[in-house]
Structure 1
Amino acid sequence: MAFDFSISERVEVQRQRIEDFVAAELIPLEQQVFRDGWTDALRTDLQARARAAGVFAPQAPAELGGGGFRFDEAAVLLEEAGYSLLGPVALNCAAPDEGNIHLLHLTATAAQRERYLVPLASGEVRSCFSMTEPPPGAGSDPSALRTRARRVDGGWVLNGEKWLITGADGAAFSIVMALNEGDDVAEGATMFLVPTDNPGFVLGDHLNTIDGTFLGGHLQISLRDCFVPDEDVLGEPGSGFAAAQVRLAPARLTHCMRWLGAARRAHDIAVERAVGRELFGSPLTGLGMAQALIAENEVDLHAARAMLWHTAWVLAEGSRTSEESSRTKVFVSEAVCRVVDRAVQLAGGMGTSEELVLGRIYRDIRSFRIYDGATEVHKMSIAQRTARRAAKRVQARGVGA
């Protein structure tokens, strides 16, 4: 048995390039973006800079213009990109595009790759993923899907409501999940590629969420007799839930990578500030309660990284990783939120401000404990798998008695 946590020279060189790019090109722009918001013009400019610096899309296949790094190598690089909240967009490794690039690379036809994947991977366009629905529709429980797909001559007609669809404003297309209906089609859900200029794909209001750094917001979407031709079915009809797992397990891990970088940034800001502050006749870093916050952050960051690297390696080696990714998503999402919360506390009043960046990270990171499977849902899944294994052991002992 061998455990190797070494980072190859190629990955370390690329990590350093990303670190330098983030420091030189992105951190100086943060306050402007926090104040004025994202625009696609700024995204295009930053992605051009990232391409020129040789750091664009490290996780994307090389044949699509990306870095071509393995998934476990991407864990190192996407953490570095996440050190600035602008980094994932600038490097074209942000949600939802990163997950859609991965899904399309694995499941799209040759024609779909040319029409949808190539421009998405290059940063020419943005995309969104339309699965979440208003209650009682699909959220943490995809089986509650209420959007329907009905077979018609030459294609399908979709009807339903979606909400909290990240990046929909300005996206060129969406991957839409819908439940098949009718006796003439396979049971289950199907994924559809839907250009956002389709007259049946109707953009609704922006939902005013606590986060503020996702380009394109979080929108309500109405599907109103939305016709999708057969050539825009992604994968096989009825295979939507299985295809979703192809996307969701890696996507929840890349969220972990990016947010780990943001949490490390928050910790660094707070500790560097604490080093220079004196309270009650002592440096802040010499006070026991401040030391506890710093030490607890160090432990959480290290443990989160170790867990993430292991799960990313399992996936890179070709395993499905459903259970591992659930455990990692639970731990990392909770750990990074703890880290940022302690960093805010350590920094004091200015820790709540966007001027110190901590306030914005705090706002944006909170939702991570909910999307891509809420903590409680993943815990339920982990417990159910554990109970099934225990039941099998008990049954085996009974049979052998």
Structure 2
Amino acid sequence: MDFAIPSHIAAMREQISQFLVEKVYPNEQTWFDYDEKAYPACSEDHPEIKQLQAEVKELGLWAGHLPREAGGMGLSIMEYGLLNEIIGRSYFAPRIFGSNAPDSGNAEILWHYGTPAQHEHFFWPLQQGDVRSFFSMTEPDVSGADPTLLQTTAELVDDQWVINGRKWYSTNANGAGFGIVMAMTDPNAPTHLRYSQIIVPAEAPGLTLVRPISVMGHTTGGGHWEIEYTDVRVPAENLLGKRGQGFAIAQTRLGPGRIHHCMRWLGQAQRAFDLMCEYSTKRVAFGGPLADKQMVQHWIAESAAEIQAARLSVLHAAWQIDQAGAKSARIDISLIKFSVAAMLMNVLDRAIQVHGGLGVSDDTPLAFMWRQGRASRIYDGPDEVHKMVVAREILKRYGYPERKA
């Protein structure tokens, strides 16, 4: 088993790391301030971000999640994961490198399931960073853990889809050019064939941004929006993929996406770890630096062990996808989804504790990372669902009968 990082990927990781140190980290606070003061305008459209995107394109580091024919880098899941480990260290870096959620996931499914016309009107502007997008799936009135309960409907009337319903956590909706909406198109079909995904331009009459959802006291950046769809009409050809294929498309989007998330969480954990270690050597209390204290040494050792274990688990899951597809790696993907999210919060908590009052302020990235990171245990499937999936698959090997939830 070869643990060496391929030389071309190692070179890219170093290039990205240097780019972050020189051009991203020094400007983060400026962009955070912009998000606060200019909202609902968002830093993702800031001229400095746009300039850095152009530089990344010149470096050939744009859109690592897409194949070359789609204007991407043509990387394997593992290769892209290794880059994401570095890109994930900054909240702003995924946008700068053309791979931020939800645009990256939307671009992937548009590329794989979109028609030539959809490629022209939606995929390429999104891929090039000319527009932003949102993904409307979760709803406030039903459990997001069980998407078979979604209530938003789309009825085909005179060659138009008429969409009605309410969504929330439609991230990135402010200033987006379009969204992809999950809606019930066939209520009498088998459960997992009832839903379809439909492309909806943001300016469509009847689409209303109701409110930005305040998350732990913040509504800035791309934001998490509640959206009302009232008799929203779009052409029948805005259907993405085939009718009733909504869940299949969602799984295409979520499998590799969870690898991307986990590698970015590893990047955040590593940055928090670095900050913790650096601060512990400089901050003096009770006669010496914090690094002398046994408890702090334990936190550093525990964090190092958890980061390493999580990293190897994620790379193994990525390797499995590259070898045999996301379906074959289903259990490993669920394993890393909840274990890496827990690791991230553990490391962030220790880093904040070492920093004391500074850690809960916004004078370091730690508090922001913690606020963002807490949601990692919920989105893309809550921890409890992934643990249930893993446990049931393992128990089958011991004669446990398969049952419906």
TM-score, structure 1 normalization: 0.92
CA contact 1:293–1:346 (8 Å) conserved in 2? no
Moved more, 124-133 or 344-353: 344-353
Give the C-alpha shift of residue 318 in structure 1. 3.4
Give the C-alpha shift of residue 49 in structure 1. 2.8
Aligned residue number for residue 383 of structure 1: 391
Identity %: 39
Match of 1:303 among 299, 302, 309: 309
Letter in structure 2 aligned against 1:368: S
- Residues 211 and 340 (structure 1), Cα distance of their counterparts in 2 relative to 1, 3 Å cut: farther
After the TM superposition, which residues 250-329 of structure 1 pair with which residues of structure 2 at under 5 Å, given as runs?
A: 250-319=256-325, 320=327, 321-329=329-337
Superimposed CA distance per residue, residues 346-386 of structure 1 (whole angstroms, 9 cap, x where no aligned partner): 12221112212212212221111111111112112222323
- Secondary structure of 2:229 counterpart: strand
Q: Distance in 1 between matches of 2:218 and 2:97?
A: 18
CA contact 2:360–2:366 (8 Å) conserved in 1? yes
Give the C-alpha shift of residue 120 in structure 1. 0.9
Letter in structure 2 aligned against 1:102: E
Q: Distance in 1 between matches of 2:321 and 2:217?
A: 29
Superimposed CA distance per residue, residues 83-137 of structure 1 (whole angstroms, 9 cap, x where no aligned partner): 11211111121111111122222211222122211111111111111000012x2
Superimposed CA distance per residue, residues 59-88 of structure 1 (whole angstroms, 9 cap, x where no aligned partner): 222233322211110111011011112111
Q: Distance in 2 between matches of 1:250 and 1:152?
A: 35
Aligned residue number for residue 168 of structure 2: 163
CA contact 1:210–1:364 (8 Å) conserved in 2? no
Aligned residue number for residue 16 of structure 1: 14
Give the C-alpha shift of residue 214 in structure 1. 7.2
CA contact 2:64–2:99 (8 Å) conserved in 1? yes
Aligned residue number for residue 398 of structure 1: none
Aligned residue number for residue 151 of structure 1: 156
- Secondary structure of 1:391 counterpart: coil
CA contact 1:158–1:224 (8 Å) conserved in 2? yes
- Residues 30 and 387 (structure 1), Cα distance of their counterparts in 2 relative to 1, 3 Å cut: same
**Structure 1: runs of 5 or more not aligned:** 395-401
Q: Distance in 2 between matches of 1:182 and 1:305?
A: 42
Give the C-alpha shift of residue 183 in structure 1. 6.3
- Residues 384 and 184 (structure 1), Cα distance of their counterparts in 2 relative to 1, 3 Å cut: closer
Give the C-alpha shift of residue 138 in structure 1. 4.7
Q: Distance in 2 between matches of 1:160 and 1:196?
A: 15
1:78 aligns with 2:84: yes
CA contact 1:83–1:265 (8 Å) conserved in 2? yes
Give the C-alpha shift of residue 291 in structure 1. 0.3
Give the C-alpha shift of residue 187 in structure 1. 4.5
RMSD: 2.1
CA contact 2:205–2:232 (8 Å) conserved in 1? yes
- Residues 356 and 183 (structure 1), Cα distance of their counterparts in 2 relative to 1, 3 Å cut: closer
Match of 2:133 among 120, 127, 144: 127
CA contact 1:311–1:324 (8 Å) conserved in 2? yes
Q: Distance in 2 between matches of 1:291 and 1:213?
A: 36
- Secondary structure of 1:161 counterpart: strand
- Secondary structure of 1:209 counterpart: coil
Q: Distance in 2 between matches of 1:261 and 1:335?
A: 12
- Secondary structure of 1:146 counterpart: coil
Letter in structure 1 aligned against 2:227: I
TM-score, structure 2 normalization: 0.91
Superimposed CA distance per residue, residues 303-333 of structure 1 (whole angstroms, 9 cap, x where no aligned partner): 1111110111111223222222111101011
Superimposed CA distance per residue, residues 271-308 of structure 1 (whole angstroms, 9 cap, x where no aligned partner): 11111223222332121100011011101111111111
1:175 aligns with 2:180: yes
- Secondary structure of 2:154 counterpart: strand
Letter in structure 2 aligned against 1:241: F
CA contact 1:84–1:262 (8 Å) conserved in 2? yes
Aligned residue number for residue 201 of structure 1: 207
CA contact 1:369–1:375 (8 Å) conserved in 2? yes
Q: Distance in 1 between matches of 2:220 and 2:385?
A: 24
1:351 aligns with 2:372: no
Matched length = 391
